[in-house]
Structure 1
């Protein structure tokens, strides 16, 4: 059982437990950032269409949008993807120690992840990333024997190619490319989306399916490779065992902080300036952000890991939701759907950006409390238990 409260006997086991706890805490930290970003897209069809909600135009509203876009957007899903790649190496190592064939188990796990993601996208949030992880997992399975240096070089190459792709889109948009048929069709598209999301079950599902049909090409061409690049970095770090003894890599963590908080923040500022400036500006901003967002995400991760030994209580609080991150990720969408869509209160486009952030913090605080309560009684989160059953094709132990 992975907890910080129960200490193993041997020094090596202590080191392994600390490593797992730090990864769980970092995963919980990433989950909070993802929620603060995603809640805006769950709360309004305008945000999903790439527009600001017209009902909220005060200085406070714009200040919150800028802060979230500058510091959070496109950073925390990369950090989470890095952890997906890192955890992949732990799963491979566990299978080898147990003498189990890894491929069939992992394929069953990916199939389960894909089905969960598909249900999530159709029923709750078309911005789902689980299906992307399932597809990227196939690539990790193919690349599992890749050398760390090769994995990093491949991640860099993917990132640069994606950035060039957005540069090409920007150039095409400057020449008058027709951008209709995408999610960002404008205010009419957003208003129609709000109406559908505030309706009944079938209206909501139909709207989610429609959005999926519009964004699937962009997801396959752009988000998938970006996630794969972050996963490859995680794969390399896992192979090198860097997170096993962070004290040996303090210099590297410092360099990540300096680079991320300079080049990363500069790129994030440019991205934020361009985020509300039309198609051409958005494409240029995306091109820059693809290169610099990973640097800022790395700086966040490095800073968090360096501070964690000095903030053990915070680490324990974040490790609990991090241990059952899949359950909490899906629960976040469910809770927000009950608040914002016709599934529940139908408050779509009626909540200000500032209140959205406060609601996100409140939801995550509840998840911290619930996760700690649940894990005192169970070894795995509810969805983690299901995915583990699909992976090993036998009933896991339920009790802690």
Structure 2
């Protein structure tokens, strides 16, 4: 969710476009939790059980859920190397400005949790980035080994939990979950007090997930991105590299198979199903990246990069904007649509909002150098107010 601190003209536009693509996937997942209290309680809203509803849920589960988080984390690590290069090019010390940046990201995350959306990732990223900062000078081999170890520990713990722990002793019954879901949806439809209370009620689960799965997997992807950034793997892409085809041939079958196991195995309510998704999500995400890179460098489809890159360039603003839009649309603070939209309607709404963000991002960057959130975070990072307006062309 960060802007790249690079000198003008040195942006890696493929990275911006990939980040924009990841924003779409993240929003498709997040909007389901913004729109109803049922997904967060691992039960289906009994109002929406038609065949079409189930198909839309299934498509999202197989192709979207848990895939774009790892992609965004990888890009975060890649951008970390660009920030190091930017500090070196500016002749300034990297350490103090990165520590200010991490602190700023954490504070933004806390405010995001309290006022906009309880499913925040910024605080997790900030804490994991402290470890990345500490490891920034480690050898590539060390980074890869630590990443593999972290991911392996998460997988082993999930498999062990699925095999040896009784989930029914931990999770509420289906009836209790439905009651909790109704209460959550009702809280979402209240005023500021109820909405903030709803966000804070989910804080223990958010912390638990950050410690046991999201934090370690994010750090693992950060480290992979760090190695890729050092080697500038996304700076010299032509689109016709044989490795991209090999990634597609491996990533799509394995990734989709894992998504199917996750979906038909019960999704987030079943630990072994989650393990199948965690194990295969990076491969499907890699296949998406390979496909997008090939398309963005093909003569007839270069427009895809031009469309996605502006949104990715101001990803933090768009991420927070998605949460703000969700707050206005679904909670009692705004239009109070929580619990009223079916999965197809929610998916359509997510696509429409993202299309709007693509358009607004492109218009904004014609006049300004940064998004509002990026500008604020850059101010914190540099310790001085940066210019906002874009330099005149011509």
**Fold similarity call, TM over 0.5:** yes
Map of 1:351 onto structure 2: 341
Question: Is 1:366 matched up with 2:361?
Answer: no
1:173 to partner: Cα distance: 3.3
Map of 2:284 onto structure 1: 296
Question: Is 1:378 matched up with 2:362?
Answer: no
**Alignment check: 8 A CA contact 1:108 1:390 kept:** yes
Q: State the 4+ residue runs in structure 1 displaced beyond 4 angstroms.
A: none
Partner-residue secondary structure (3-state), 2:265: helix
Map of 2:186 onto structure 1: 195
1:169 to partner: Cα distance: 1.8
1:153 to partner: Cα distance: 2.3
**Alignment check: 8 A CA contact 2:109 2:120 kept:** yes
Partner-residue secondary structure (3-state), 1:398: coil
Map of 2:201 onto structure 1: 210
Q: Aligned partners of 1:174 and 1:251: how far apart in 2?
A: 46
Map of 1:236 onto structure 2: 227
Question: Is 1:29 matched up with 2:17?
Answer: no
Check 1:76–1:286 CA distance in 2 against 1; reply closer, same or farther (3 A cut).
Answer: same
Q: Aligned partners of 1:224 and 1:399: how far apart in 2?
A: 36
Aligned residue runs from structure 1 range 14-25, under 5 A: 16-17=10-11, 20-25=12-17
Aligned residue runs from structure 1 range 74-85, under 5 A: 74-85=66-77
Q: Taking structure 1 as the reference length, what is the TM-score of the superposition?
A: 0.91
1:246-291 deviation line (CA, Å, top 9, x unaligned): 2398233222212211211111110111235x84xx1001112111
Map of 2:100 onto structure 1: 108
Q: List alignment gaps of at least 5 residues for structure 1.
A: 3-7
1:317 to partner: Cα distance: 1.1
**Alignment check: 8 A CA contact 2:185 2:339 kept:** yes
Question: Is 1:247 matched up with 2:238?
Answer: yes
1:189 to partner: Cα distance: 1.1
Q: Aligned partners of 1:315 and 1:62: how far apart in 2?
A: 32
Q: Aligned partners of 2:244 and 2:278: how far apart in 1?
A: 21
Q: Aligned partners of 1:118 and 1:90: how far apart in 2?
A: 26
1:179 to partner: Cα distance: 2.7
Map of 2:147 onto structure 1: 155
Question: Is 1:323 matched up with 2:313?
Answer: yes
Check 1:175–1:304 CA distance in 2 against 1; reply closer, same or farther (3 A cut).
Answer: closer
Q: Aligned partners of 1:392 and 1:184: how far apart in 2?
A: 52
Q: Aligned partners of 2:18 and 2:129: how far apart in 1?
A: 20
Indicate which of 239, 245, 259 corresponds to 2:250.
Answer: 259
1:148 to partner: Cα distance: 2.1
**Alignment check: 8 A CA contact 1:27 1:80 kept:** yes
Q: List alignment gaps of at least 5 residues for structure 2.
A: none
Select between 64-73 and 363-372 the one with higher mean Cα deviation: 363-372
Check 1:201–1:83 CA distance in 2 against 1; reply closer, same or farther (3 A cut).
Answer: same
Map of 1:5 onto structure 2: none
Map of 2:323 onto structure 1: 333
**Alignment check: 8 A CA contact 1:49 1:185 kept:** no
Partner-residue secondary structure (3-state), 1:204: helix
1:175 to partner: Cα distance: 7.7
Check 1:185–1:315 CA distance in 2 against 1; reply closer, same or farther (3 A cut).
Answer: farther
Q: Aligned partners of 2:250 and 2:144: how far apart in 1?
A: 17
Q: Aligned partners of 2:39 and 2:291: how far apart in 1?
A: 30
Q: Aligned partners of 1:161 and 1:105: how far apart in 2?
A: 32
The size of the alignment, in residue pairs, is: 382
1:370-394 deviation line (CA, Å, top 9, x unaligned): 1111111100000000000000011
Partner-residue secondary structure (3-state), 1:160: helix
Q: Aligned partners of 2:91 and 2:312: how far apart in 1?
A: 27
1:78-100 deviation line (CA, Å, top 9, x unaligned): 11111100000000111122221
Indicate which of 82, 85, 88 corresponds to 1:93.
Answer: 85
Map of 1:62 onto structure 2: 54
Q: Taking structure 2 as the reference length, what is the TM-score of the superposition?
A: 0.93
